[in-house]
Copies of this chain bind each other. A is one copy, B any other.
Amino acid sequence: MAEGELEAVRKCLREFSIEARELFLGRSVPYLEQPPSPLRFHREWLCPNKPCIIRNAIRHWPALSKWSPAYLRAAVGSKLVSVAVTPHGYADAVFGDRFVMPEEQRMPFASLLDLIESRGGGGVDGRRGVFYMQKQCSSLTEELPELIGDVDTEIPWMSKALGKHPDAVNFWLGEEAAVTSLHKDHYENLYCVISGEKHFILLPPSHRPFIPYELYPPATFKQREDGSFDVVDEEAAEKVPWIPVDPLNPDLERYPDYGLARPLHCTVRAGEMLYLPSLWFHHVRQSQGCIAVNYWYDMEFDVKYNYFQLLESLSAVLGKN
């Protein structure tokens, strides 16, 4: 009896997710040819929590034409920046039976540019590991404030729509091998590509019941003198809940529910901006040396968050994760 009702609850969650696609999400990420008005953006994208790619939103940014390697070397080449270094490109991801964070190396920005250019051109440099400038502490304003004049300190129509300023403006520069593993953020995210392209795999919050979480002891990569990496456990740290599924190669035998997920794939090209709504799961790759700037606006913790927390707790009961 209870078993039948529990199966009925599972069916409710499956149908809910299918209905989300049929009602309002569709099967691909739509394009807007112009940035919308603040009200229209709120009504058509923010409030329904729908992603879109916006063209012509950043065409006035000097960065689009100015940010050549030569210009960046001249402007900020000597500045020390924080770079995530990993053996295989996966930072903040499940590796074996650990949740492994990257080694953070401080280096002159020019050194990172050299490395990326050399490898992109088929060259060989003396270092091992995959390098990704990906720090999300408002890295553009904190580490490279000289560049902020080439973009905007905020996206005016987004700030007006939300009635607030961004919490962080981050600068991203990475190698093709660098991957951001599947996760979600408590932010409304505007992700602007300056050069190269970013590849996103997106899963809506309604897919939460199909996405497994497991608990992993946290650890950090440490690079030795010879360039090889150790995985060093964090001392006395609490386990971290993380998603063990790689959307590029999901292990459906171990995580069969993930087979019900229907990811949206999109590529954001230079000059384009992705609106990545809060609580959407995302996995990100890029072309070699892709440069991007993103704006994180704090999400509202109201009705959609409330409903999502219900999904979280139901998923924990039903999936035991």
Question: Within 8 Å CB of A24, what residues of B?
Answer: 301-303, 306
Query: Closest B-chain residue to A39, C-beta based?
Result: B39
A137 CB-CB contact with B under 8 Å: no
Interface residues of A in 34-75 (CB under 8 A from B): 38-40, 42-43, 46-50
Query: Which of A13-21, A85-93, A125-133 faces chain B?
Result: A13-21
Residues of B within 8 A of A314 (CB): 9, 12
| Interface range, A side | 35 or more
Give the contact stretch, choosing among A160-168, A248-256, A260-268, A289-297: A160-168
A5 at interface, CB cutoff 8 A: yes
Q: Is A307 an interface residue, CB under 8 A from the partner?
A: yes
CA separation between A251 and B272, bound complex, in Å? Answer: 58
Q: Indicate how many identical chains form the complex.
A: 2
Determine the main DSSP class of A at the interface with B.
helix
19 example contacts (A-B, Cβ-Cβ < 8 A) are as follows A2-B2, A6-B9, A9-B314, A12-B313, A13-B310, A16-B309, A16-B310, A20-B303, A20-B306, A23-B302, A39-B39, A42-B42, A43-B161, A47-B300, A47-B303, A48-B300, A50-B303, A303-B304, A307-B310
Chain B residues within 8 Å of A313, by CB: 12, 15-16
Beta-carbon contact of A48 and B302 below 8 Å: yes
Determine the chain B residues whose CB is within 8 A of the CB of A20 once the complex forms: 303, 306
**Of all chain B residues, which has the CB nearest A313?**
B12
**Interface: A148 (CB within 8 A):** no
Asked if A39 meets B206 with Cβ closer than 8 Å, knowing A49-B303, A302-B24, the reply is no
For A318, the chain B residues whose CB sits under 8 A away are 5, 9
Which residue numbers of A lie inside 8 Å of B, CB to CB? 2-3, 5-6, 8-9, 12-13, 15-16, 19-20, 23-24, 38-40, 42-43, 46-50, 160-163, 206, 300-307, 309-310, 313-314, 317-318
Whole-angstrom distance between the Cβ of A11 and the nearest chain B Cβ:
8
A3 to B4, CA, bound (A): 10
**Chain B residues, Cβ within 8 Å of A12:** 310, 313-314, 317
